[in-house]
């Protein structure tokens, strides 16, 4: 996967294309989705840069269930909250299970349920999901002030979780798909994401266009384009592809900035995808 990266002299910023921008905010490396932020939201995926965790969680690990030191994770969460202006305890979170349930946010912090997408509306709405190869899918409706955030690995992608989130925003808040702005954050790319026949069989059954989002691999295998598949899911859900920013960087290739579950052999940190509206 090609990554067009332009270092801006002295600014500590890199433009990564795909409608995403990398910057160091208060010492913490962040990937921002400017189209959504121009509409008034905080729409960010954290990098692994600027935290205090020791290897293999170095350094900005935000996941508590990966074996890292809890004190370090608390410091990392505080640093991210400071950089975003959104304290971690305000972020609604769910227990992510690679499913397709969509949860309407009720208050701040852990929502106490199994789900892989969150929706909400109005000032102060704030949500986060944790990722390390799976694609975070951001949705924002400038007309109604509704937002949605989905966690899409191959299972969620095959289950159409991004489309289910769009549908849930329509039912709950009257959102029209054509009005939505969307962004697909950094995920493992087709360069590195080899899947086997059982996964391919699920993909075949899930969408008629599955062959468009895989590349040939070893016998019995293929390389899956999770971000590309989510763009396709969003298009089928009625979104304008021109209003969807797809991050081109690959978690497994860009290991200086990103955590990759696959590339690390399963022992690594988690990034946070954060979508928040000003309170
Ligand atoms: Zn890659």
103 Cα to the center of ligand 1, angstroms:
31
Q: How far is the CA of 248 from the centre of ligand 1 (A)?
A: 10
Q: Could you tell me the residue range of the domain that residue 94 belongs to? A: 6-276
Per the CB < 8 A criterion, the answer to whether 271 and 59 are in contact is: no
Q: Which two tokens stand for residue 68?
A: 């890292």
12 vs 246: CA distance, rounded Å: 22
CA atoms within 13 A of residue 267's CA, in its CB half-sphere = 5
Other beta carbons within 10 angstroms of residue 24's beta carbon come to 16
CA of 146 to the centre of ligand 1 (A): 33
Could you tell me if residue 194 is inside a domain?
A: yes
CATH number of 202's domain: 3.60.140.10
Domain count, the chain: 1
- Distance from C-alpha of 91 to C-alpha of 68, rounded to nearest angstrom: 21
Residues near ion ligand 1 (CB < 5 Å) are 189, 191-192, 250, 252-253
Q: Is residue 1 part of a domain?
A: no
Ligand 1: centre distance to CA 219 (Å):
20
Q: How many CB atoms lie within 10 A of CB 143?
A: 11
Q: Which residues have CB under 8 Å from 181's CB, separation 6+?
A: 35, 36, 39, 139, 140, 141, 142, 243, 244
Each residue's pLDDT, cut to its tens digit, for the chain (279 residues) gives 333 333 333 334 455 678 999 999 889 999 999 999 999 999 999 999 999 999 999 999 999 999 999 999 999 999 999 999 999 999 999 999 999 999 999 999 999 999 999 999 999 999 999 999 999 999 999 999 999 999 999 999 999 999 999 999 999 999 999 999 999 999 999 999 999 999 999 999 999 999 999 999 999 999 999 999 999 999 999 999 999 999 999 999 999 999 999 999 999 999 999 999 998
């Amino acid at each position: 996967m090609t990554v067009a990266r332009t270092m801006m002299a002295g600014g500590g910023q890199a433009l990564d294309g795909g409608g995403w921008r990398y910057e160091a905010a208060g010492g913490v490396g962040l990937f921002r989705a400017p189209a959504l932020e121009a509409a008034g939201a905080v729409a960010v995926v954290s990098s692994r840069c600027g935290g205090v965790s020791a290897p293999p969680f170095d350094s900005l690990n935000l996941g508590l269930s990966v074996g890292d030191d809890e004190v370090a994770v608390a410091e990392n969460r505080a640093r991210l909250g400071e950089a975003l202006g959104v304290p971690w305890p305000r972020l609604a979170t769910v227990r992510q299970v690679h499913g397709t349930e969509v949860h309407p946010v009720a208050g701040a912090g852990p929502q106490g349920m199994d789900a892989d997408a969150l929706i909400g509306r109005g000032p102060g709405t704030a949500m986060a999901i944790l990722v390390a190869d799976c694609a975070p899918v951001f949705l924002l409706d400038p007309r109604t002030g509704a937002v949605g955030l989905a966690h899409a690995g191959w299972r969620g992608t095959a289950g159409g979780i991004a489309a289910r989130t769009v549908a849930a925003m329509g039912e709950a808040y009257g959102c029209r798909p054509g009005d939505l702005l969307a962004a697909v954050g950094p995920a493992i790319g087709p360069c590195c994401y080899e899947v086997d026949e059982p996964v391919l069989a699920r993909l075949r059954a899930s969408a008629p266009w599955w062959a468009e989002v895989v590349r040939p691999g070893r016998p019995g295998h293929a390389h899956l384009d999770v971000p590309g598949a989510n763009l396709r899911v969003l298009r089928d859900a009625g979104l304008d592809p021109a209003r969807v920013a797809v991050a081109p960087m690959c978690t497994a290739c860009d290991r200086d900035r990103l955590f990759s579950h696959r590339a690390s052999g399963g022992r690594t940190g988690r990034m946070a995808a954060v979508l928040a509206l000003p309170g």
